Amino acid sequence: MAIKFQYNKTSLQALEKQLKIRERALPTIKSKESALRMEVTRNKDEVNKLNLQLENEMQRYANMVALWSDFTPDLVDVKDVSLSTKKIAGVVVPVLAGLDFDVKLYSIFSNPAWTTDGIELLKDLARIGIETEFSKTKLEMLEYARKKTTQKVNLFEKVQIPGYKDAILKIKRYMEDEQSLSKASQKIMRGNQEKRKKKEEEANV
């Protein structure tokens, strides 16, 4: 990224201001990136744990598959999913606040003895499945924020800050050279004036 500037004091001051802003912001952005990196790692572990739980519950379901033909599937249903949000390292993410199930009345005489256990198993499957999806969404949001923050750190650290420093140095050198040339010109002019004055004085003698 090329830093646009002019070889004057106003441009120098503007660049110095922008440099200070970035140098002050960089530690905060780095801290945010570090926090997000930790949260991404923690949430990956959480998703893996939930996936394992889901596999275990599915295995329980598979072990009872021969019995499910006697089960009435519409006895249990997800009635409502309660959502909330929270900030993790400055990123607002969705949180599963709760699940409300609708369990229909059933006769314990005309249904298998394990119907109550079957309902609880289906509720567990639904709960873990929905929680896994929420965790995956949260992980994606945190990963995206982490990537954007890393890009900003790299932009400041590797592009903008060195770019501003280089531009400031160029302007300062130019102004120093200009000042030296100006002094040299003034010295030459004074020398010429002194020579003319001397000649005039000699001519008048």
Name the band, by pLDDT with cuts 50, 70 and 90, for residue 45. Answer: very high
- Residues 58-84 have pLDDT tens digits of 787 776 666 666 667 777 888 888 888
pLDDT at 18: 93
pTM confidence score: 0.72
**Residue boundaries of the structural domains of the chain:** 9-187
Q: For the domain with range 9-187, which CATH number is right: 3.40.50.360, 1.10.287.3240, 1.20.1560.10, 1.10.357.140?
A: 1.10.287.3240
Q: Which residue(s) pair with 94 in the sheet?
A: 85
pLDDT tens-digit readout, 154-164: 999 999 999 99
Query: Among candidates 50, 5, 22, which has minimal Cα distance to 166?
Result: 5
SS3 breakdown of the chain: % helix, strand, coil, rounded to 5? 75, 15, 15
Torsion 137-140-145-146 (CA) sign: positive
CB 101 within 8 A of CB 120: no
Banded pLDDT at 150 (limits 50, 70, 90): very high
**What is the model's pLDDT at position 95?**
85
How many C-beta atoms lie closer than 10 Å to residue 47's C-beta? 17
Average predicted confidence (pLDDT) for the chain = 84
Q: How far apart are CA 47 and CA 182, in angstroms?
A: 69
Pairing mode of beta strands 76-88, 91-103 = antiparallel
Length of the chain: 205
Burial of 3 (0-12, 13-18, 19+ CB in 10 A): middle
